[in-house]
Amino acid sequence: MSIHAEDLGPLDEPQAPPAARPRRRIPRAALVAAALLAGAAAYYLRPAGRTAPVGYVTVAVDRGPIERVVNATGAVNPVTAVLVGTYVSGPIQAIDATFNSPVKKGQRIAKIDPAPFAVKVREAEANLQNAQAKVAGNRADLKLKKLLLERNRVLLRRNLIAQNDLDTAETGYEQASAQLALDQAAVAQARATLEEAQVNLRYTDILSPVDGVVVSVNVAVGQTVAASFQTPTLFLIAGDLTKMQVDTNVSESDVGRVREGQAATFTVDAYPGQPFHGTVAQVRNAPITVQNVVTYDVVVAVDNPGLALKPGMTANVS
């Protein structure tokens, strides 16, 4: 069977693809609202054991100075501290000053039993009187020897005595003169011994060398102090507690940046959080070596009008 082309109908043409639908744009306000809802849901639905998110604080960028700070530790000390000892030995008879007692220069603060030193003074006085009496006798003898010498000279000129008699008179006069000089030296020696005994007697009164406050007392009534080999320390007197200083140990790597007159700040454990202000008064050149570590003593002067700072406090200085 044959089919002719005219018997066939028209061929179907390929269909065109359907037109694309236009995309719908989500409003920005909806996006913001969805983000806020998501954040609120995350905040309220978070587990109870977790902490709140960390907050941040922002500030504007600014220019400022950069400071190089040297930190050190030290001790608070009085500017003037005097160790008071004794020059003589003996039992303590009285103590006239105790801890924190204000004292004046020349005020008696303790007394050593003066009885043995008073005996020494009386003995020295007697020895001086004895030496002076010998001098008086030698002067009389010298006067007599001088008269004999002059008389013998007159007699020799008249040929009434021999030359030997004159020579004997001259020798006696010279010996009397020498004995007088020797006894006069003994008087001077006895007077010096008396003065020494009187000085030792005065040293039984232990006096304050400065105006200040007694910081420590290392002796009690009845205690015997011996000053034979080393002077014992009985009192420590601070000159003026309203003027203090901090002695710090600064490392050799930092001491080059420290200058006299620089401002310093320090704190003490007795007043945490309260800064004290001072000024670098001295950078000492003497090195301090401890276990091959070299430091230098830097002195910081500080006013202490309220007496809040006490001697010996540990200071953290910067």
pLDDT tens across 134-191, in order? 999 988 888 888 888 888 888 878 888 888 888 888 888 888 889 889 999 999 999 9
In this prediction, residue 126 has a pLDDT band, given cuts at 50, 70 and 90, of very high
Report how far residue 152's alpha carbon sits from residue 163's, in angstroms, rounded to the nearest whole number: 9
| Lookup result for tokens 């003593």 | 297
- Note the pLDDT tens digit of each residue in 74-117: 999 999 889 998 989 999 999 999 999 999 999 999 999 999 99
Instruction: Tell me what percent of the residues of the chain surpass a pLDDT of 90.
Output: 46
Please indicate whether residue 70 or residue 104 has the higher confidence score (pLDDT). Answer: 104
Question: Which of 2.40.30.170, 2.60.40.1510, 2.40.10.220, 2.40.50.180 would CATH assign to domain 74-78+241-317?
Answer: 2.40.30.170
For 231, list phi and psi in degrees, rounded to 5. -70, 120
- Note the pLDDT tens digit of each residue in 221-251: 999 998 877 778 899 999 888 999 999 999 8
* 251: nearest Cα among 70, 62, 33: 70
Helix (H, G, I), strand (E, B) or coil at 5: helix
- Rounded to 5°, angle at Cα 263 from 260 and 269: 115
Question: What's the mean per-residue pLDDT of the chain?
Answer: 84
| Lookup result for tokens 């005020």 | 107
Domain with CATH 2.40.30.170 in the chain: 74-78+241-317
| Lookup result for tokens 């950069």 | 66
Report how far residue 95's alpha carbon sits from residue 82's, in angstroms, rounded to the nearest whole number: 18
Contact 247, 307 (CB under 8 A): no
How much is the pLDDT for 230?
76
Domain with CATH 1.10.287.470 in the chain: 114-203
What mean pLDDT is predicted for residues 191-201?
94
Instruction: Reply yes or no on whether the pLDDT at 268 is more than 90.
Output: yes
Assign domain 114-203 to its CATH architecture: Orthogonal Bundle (1.10)
Instruction: Tell me what percent of the residues of the chain surpass a pLDDT of 70.
Output: 83
What mean pLDDT is predicted for residues 116-142?
92
SS3 content of the chain, % helix, strand, coil (to 5): 35, 25, 40
In this prediction, residue 11 has a pLDDT band, given cuts at 50, 70 and 90, of very low
Helix (H, G, I), strand (E, B) or coil at 120: helix
